């Protein structure tokens, strides 16, 4: 270990932008054994590991880096998976530059961070290849069941943790495939779907039941689900797109980011997607404008490039240094030919039935606001026009109205529409109904959803282990008595 002075930092090589613009394959070459060993040996094994502290899962990063450096790769995987149910996914899509790698001690000393994410991915990919990922070790089956609404990362992780404890688990999801935004929101060039399918297949093989094409409040009622299970976990995520409120004339070629990404991912999975085929959600030969500066915006611009857009521009009201998304993703987009219009704000959509032009105004950064970033201010007299054929709004996500959707008006929400839970128990105001992931914390990272799924499973286990007696039949109003 401690070889960071003599061994330089090396990230996995990327395919050239010329090659990767023409397909949806992952853009990085696989890390090889010798490089993984060498890069892991750069870890300083510091007394206060900031990488560990700044990981939401508190992964034991220095410990499994040491094992990897010693070529004890199966042990490294086992240690990594003790705290993370999806290390190969986090290794691919976590913004390591803002979390573990960004807080690496040797990064701060000027020697370049340990490439934690690529090593994590390498170890777990090898584990799948070598058969180190075994069936879930279920010590004793229990006669209590848990229903999980939503098959995104929080729901999948909670299901695995609960099956480990022997509970019967059923996951309900509105889509035709399980995985949530892992399968339909994140493009293949960041996360090939085989990774997600491997995880869901393993859950199925170990007794987790998936009920797909099942939308609560439409195809099945919340009461029906509640009557079948001893506890419920709501892990729906947040799917409602925020709007910039400029499309007052309902111009057809102004679309939400998630609609655009879901259509693209479904097409890559060989689904029938009429709105892609008719051109509404397809960038081919179009001048595309994406509004926003987060990771979703980067997913959109890079998808548009691969779909054969004539040009792709990204409009963001702050500068590059103040973008909320990963700088790695911004760099990848720049390499692939995306034209960034920093300090630019859309002011008016112009068209007749379809968008034709967008009026923008330049911005300048003023004082620091509540987000810790400098507040963007309008520059008077700086308006300009940009021709466009398609606008994709990537302004973030907010919760759907779950109390209305679920016909469960008594379900309490916060001012922002997320579900209100007891911070200690993760239970909503309805006994036996828990919530986790983005539907509680708001749109966030996959790694936080994994943590929430693990924590929720622990709380549900504690709840079910306590000898509770339901004194009322109506699951909406049931009161619990300890016996």
In a shared domain, residues 172 and 194 = yes
User: Element (H or E) spanning 36, and its range?
Assistant: helix 33-40
Residue 469 has pLDDT above 50, yes or no: no
- CATH number of the CATH domain containing 34: 1.10.1060.10
Residue 350 has pLDDT above 60, yes or no: yes
In a shared domain, residues 95 and 149 = no
Average of pLDDT values for 119-131?
97
User: Element (H or E) spanning 441, and its range?
Assistant: helix 438-441
- CATH number of the CATH domain containing 373: 3.50.50.60
pLDDT bucket at 473, cuts 50 / 70 / 90: very low
C-beta of residue 60 within 8 angstroms of C-beta of residue 100? no
Geometric angle at alpha carbon 18, from 14 and 23, rounded to 5°:
80
C-beta of residue 55 within 8 angstroms of C-beta of residue 61? yes
Choosing from 396, 411, 432, the residue where a domain stops is 396
C-beta of residue 353 within 8 angstroms of C-beta of residue 251? yes
Average of pLDDT values for 402-425?
96
DSSP 117-147: HHHHHHHHHHHHHHT-------SS--S-EEE
In a shared domain, residues 48 and 178 = no
Q: Could you read off the pLDDT of 220-251 as tens digits, one per residue?
A: 999 999 999 999 999 999 999 998 889 888 88
Residue 8 lies in a domain: no
In a shared domain, residues 249 and 375 = yes
Q: Strand 145-149 and strand 231-234: pairing?
A: parallel
In a shared domain, residues 425 and 469 = yes
C-beta of residue 329 within 8 angstroms of C-beta of residue 187? no
Residues above pLDDT 70, as percent of the chain: 96
How far is residue 127 CA from its own chain's centroid? Answer: 23
83 phi and psi angles, rounded to 5 deg? -115, -5
CA distance 362 to 366: 13
In a shared domain, residues 390 and 458 = no
C-beta of residue 282 within 8 angstroms of C-beta of residue 318? no
Q: Could you read off the pLDDT of 352-404 as tens digits, one per residue?
A: 999 999 999 999 998 888 777 888 999 999 999 999 999 999 999 999 999 99
Cα–Cα distances (Å) from 404 to 171, 319, 334, 346, in that order, read 21, 39, 42, 33
What pLDDT, on a 0 to 100 scale, did the predictor assign at position 121? 96
Residue 143 has pLDDT above 90, yes or no: yes
Average of pLDDT values for 116-138?
96
Q: Could you read off the pLDDT of 166-199 as tens digits, one per residue?
A: 999 999 999 999 999 999 999 999 999 999 999 9
Residue 476 has pLDDT above 60, yes or no: no
With the CA atoms of 132, 135, 137 and 139 taken in that order, what torsion angle do they form, in degrees rounded to the nearest 10?
Answer: -150
C-beta of residue 39 within 8 angstroms of C-beta of residue 115? yes
Residue 2 lies in a domain: no
Q: What is the 3-state secondary structure (H, E, C) of 392-403?
A: EECCCEECCCHH
Contacts of residues 275-281 at CB distance under 8 Å and 24 or more positions apart, as own/partner, are 280/252, 280/253, 280/255, 281/255
In a shared domain, residues 389 and 248 = yes
Angle between helices 73-83 and 116-130 (to 10 degrees): 110
What pLDDT, on a 0 to 100 scale, did the predictor assign at position 482? 28
In a shared domain, residues 342 and 250 = yes
In a shared domain, residues 69 and 176 = no
CA distance 22 to 308: 8
Closest CA to 81 of 179, 141, 162, 161: 161
What pLDDT, on a 0 to 100 scale, did the predictor assign at position 5? 82
Cβ atoms within 10 A of the Cβ of 383, count? 13
Q: Which domain holds residue 51?
A: 17-130
In a shared domain, residues 311 and 361 = yes
What pLDDT, on a 0 to 100 scale, did the predictor assign at position 471? 34
CA distance 39 to 114: 6
pLDDT bucket at 146, cuts 50 / 70 / 90: very high
pLDDT bucket at 318, cuts 50 / 70 / 90: very high
Cα–Cα distances (Å) from 239 to 205, 261, 418, in that order, read 29, 12, 12
What pLDDT, on a 0 to 100 scale, did the predictor assign at position 2? 75
Residue indicated by tokens 């504690």: 462
In a shared domain, residues 358 and 447 = no
Which pTM value belongs to this model? Answer: 0.92
Residue 176 lies in a domain: yes
- Number of domains the chain is built from: 3
Residues above pLDDT 90, as percent of the chain: 88
In a shared domain, residues 154 and 219 = yes
């Amino acid at each position: 270990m401690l070889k960071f002075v003599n061994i330089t930092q090396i990230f996995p090589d990327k395919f050239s932008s010329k090659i990767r613009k023409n397909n949806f394959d992952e853009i990085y070459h696989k890390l090889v054994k010798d490089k993984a060993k060498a890069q892991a040996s750069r870890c300083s094994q510091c007394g206060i590991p900031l990488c560990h502290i700044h990981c939401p899962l508190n992964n034991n990063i220095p410990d499994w880096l040491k094992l990897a450096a010693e070529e004890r790769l199966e042990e490294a995987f086992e240690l990594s998976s003790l705290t993370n149910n999806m290390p190969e996914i986090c290794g691919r899509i976590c913004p390591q530059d803002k979390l573990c790698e960004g807080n690496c001690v040797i990064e701060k000393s000027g020697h370049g961070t340990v490439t934690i994410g690529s090593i994590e991915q390498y170890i777990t990919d090898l584990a799948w290849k070598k058969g180190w990922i075994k069936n879930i070790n279920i010590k004793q089956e229990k006669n209590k069941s848990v229903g999980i609404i939503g098959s995104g990362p929080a729901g999948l992780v909670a299901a695995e943790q609960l099956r480990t404890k022997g509970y019967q688990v059923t996951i309900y999801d509105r889509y035709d495939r399980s995985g949530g935004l892992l399968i339909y929101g994140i493009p293949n060039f960041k996360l090939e779907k085989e990774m997600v399918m491997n995880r869901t297949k393993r859950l199925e093989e170990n007794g987790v039941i998936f009920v797909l094409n099942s939308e609560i409040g439409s195809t099945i009622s919340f009461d029906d689900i509640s009557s079948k299970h001893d506890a419920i976990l709501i892990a729906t995520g947040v799917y409602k797109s925020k709007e910039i409120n400029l499309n007052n004339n309902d111009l057809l070629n102004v679309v939400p980011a998630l609609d655009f990404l879901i259509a693209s991912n479904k097409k890559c999975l060989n689904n029938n997607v009429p709105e892609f085929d008719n051109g509404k959600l397809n960038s081919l030969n179009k001048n595309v404008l994406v509004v926003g500066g987060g990771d979703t915006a980067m997913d959109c611009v890079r998808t548009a490039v691969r779909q054969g857009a004539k040009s792709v521009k990204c409009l963001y009201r702050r500068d590059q240094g103040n973008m909320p998304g990963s700088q790695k993703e911004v760099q990848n987009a720049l390499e692939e030919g995306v034209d960034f219009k920093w300090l630019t704000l859309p002011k008016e959509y112009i068209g007749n039935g379809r968008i034709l032009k967008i009026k923008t105004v330049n911005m300048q950064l003023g004082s620091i606001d509540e987000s810790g970033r400098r507040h963007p201010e309008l520059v008077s007299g700086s308006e300009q026009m940009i021709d466009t054929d398609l606008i994709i709004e990537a302004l973030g996500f907010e919760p759907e109205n779950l109390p209305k959707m679920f016909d469960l008006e008594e379900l309490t929400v916060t001012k922002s529409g997320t579900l209100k839970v007891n911070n200690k128990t993760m239970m909503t105001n309805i006994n036996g109904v828990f919530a986790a992931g983005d539907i509680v914390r708001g749109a966030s990272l996959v790694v936080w959803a994994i943590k929430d799924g693990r924590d929720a499973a622990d709380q549900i286990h504690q709840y079910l282990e306590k000898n509770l007696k339901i004194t009322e039949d109506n699951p909406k109003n049931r009161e619990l008595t300890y016996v």
